[in-house]
Amino acid sequence: IQPPAERPGERRLVEMRRLYGDDATKIQGMETAMQLLFDRKCDKKQPKYW
Amino acid sequence: NGCLKEEQRSRSTLRERFLRSLIAMAGKTVDFTMYERVSVTATFAASDIDILNFQVSHLQTPLGIQKEALLRCPDIIAYTFNL
């Protein structure tokens, strides 16, 4: 087994920089916050697909 | 490159506005228009970041109310809510 060739999330960070330039960190921060909220609510409520 | 910078700025402005609209929708009653002429109403809770799933509560369907549910975003044609 080989060690990982790149750090996790690095490719995403490069992509975010390409898309949003100087605002990449801000957008990524907002997205992370939203995803955490979603994950937390789903853990608590265990919703099923309708 | 000024052109690229301008494009990135427009993109981040649009993205931020969209994310803020989703945040504003939390806890609000939302009407969803789905495929096959189905309309449902639910209280919006949260969305995942790829905008693939909407987590909702009190989903009023033609067959009754579902307390907690996930809506697949690709099944949704449009949604509206009052600010």
| Nearest residue of A to residue B17, measured between CA atoms | A27
Quick: pLDDT tens for B41-59. Answer: 999 999 999 999 999 999 9
d(CA A41, CA A23): 28
**Ordered DSSP codes for B16-71:** HHHHHHHHHHTTSEEEEEESTT-EEEEEEEEE-TTS-EEEEEEEEETTEEEEEEEE
pLDDT at A10 over 70: yes
Which residues does B contribute to its contact with A (CB < 8 Å)? 4-5, 8-9, 11-12, 15-16, 19, 22-23, 40, 45-49, 53, 55-57, 59, 61, 66, 68-72
Residue pair B6/A22 in contact (Cβ under 8 Å)? The answer is: no
Which H or E element spans position A37? helix A24-45
Pairs across A and B, CB distance < 8 A: 76
Q: Write the ipTM.
A: 0.89
Which pLDDT belongs to residue B54? 97
